[in-house]
Each structure stands twice: as C-alpha cells, then as structure tokens.
Amino acid sequence: MSKEIDRIKLRRWRKRGFYSETVLVKLLHKKGYTAVRVPVSNPSLNPLPDIMARKGSHVYAFEVKNASYYAYFPKQQIDKLFRFLDQFIPADNGHKHAVVAAHLGKRWLFKEISWVDWEKNKLPEKVRILKRDRGNLNLDTSYS
C-alpha cells in the first residue's frame, strides 16, 4: 500500500513540474521568445535545462519550480544550466543567460544567475525565491 501511495505522490509532483514548464513555454511564446520544453531534463545528470528559449541573439536556459510560497534551486541544478550554455551554445557569455524560474500560484518570478559566480566557482549552495521577492529578470524588457 505504501509503495502505491508513493507512486501517486511522485506522479502528482511530476505533473506539477510539467504543468509549470508548459505554462512558461506558452508565456515565453506570448512575449516573443522561441521556446521549447526539454522533456528529459529533470532526473538526468546531463547538462540540460527544463526549458530553452531564444529572443534575438540571446539564449536562455531555465530551471523551473512550482511552489506555493518559496522555491529552492540547488547548486547542482544551477550548474547544469551553465554547463549546458557553455558546452552547447556557441556565443559569447553576454548573450547566454541561466535563469531560475519560480511558478508561485499565478505569479512568476525569474532570477538570472551571474556568469561571474559560475566562472569563479562561487555559485551559492542554493538559490531561494520567495513569493514576496522581486526577480532580476523581466521577460518584457530583457535583452532582445
């Protein structure tokens, strides 16, 4: 019985993530970005983001969390974003953006993580986004 309950909880948890990723892709399209969801990114150790997007010459790698009040992004997940951008996107770092995105009810908050922190191996152990925070990336006025 316990294993069945665990499976149900896992399915619900995965559906929440899938839902938020799908909603973000639609939001990005609406804002003029080209965006796709990467379906195998979650459990993998490969450097793949949840969502890849592009607007103009700028490329974005998103890690997405669905939460009610706060979301945590562990260092390993943030590192994966930078490794993806570094290894697979042939552009200068000024045009590549690692972004953590928290879907908090109807509200989205975005934080772009600094390339300098990654290059100097100074990524925080985790990045936290609270519902009352302000993000540092606005999809309407970001790079184009």
Rounded-to-integer distance, Cα 38 and Cα 17, Å: 12
Q: Is residue 44 part of a domain?
A: yes
State the pTM of this model. 0.86
Q: Is residue 120 part of a domain?
A: yes
Query: What is the structure's pLDDT at 15?
Result: 54
Q: What is the domain range of residue 47? A: 2-130
Q: Can you tell me the mean pLDDT for 93-121?
A: 95
What CATH number is attached to the domain comprising 99? 3.40.1350.10
Q: Is residue 88 part of a domain?
A: yes
Q: Is residue 54 part of a domain?
A: yes
Question: Quick check: 126 pLDDT over 80?
Answer: yes
pLDDT tens-place string over residues 15-62 = 556 789 999 999 999 999 999 999 874 566 788 999 999 999 999 999
Check: CB of residue 108 under 8 Å from CB of residue 24: yes
Total domains, the chain: 1
Q: Is residue 121 part of a domain?
A: yes
Question: Quick check: 131 pLDDT over 70?
Answer: yes
Q: Is residue 89 part of a domain?
A: yes
Q: What is the DSSP string of 63-114?
A: EEEEESSEEEEEHHHHHHHHHHHHHH--S-GGGEEEEEEEEETTEEEEEEEP
Q: Can you tell me the mean pLDDT for 84-104?
A: 96
Q: Is residue 144 part of a domain?
A: no
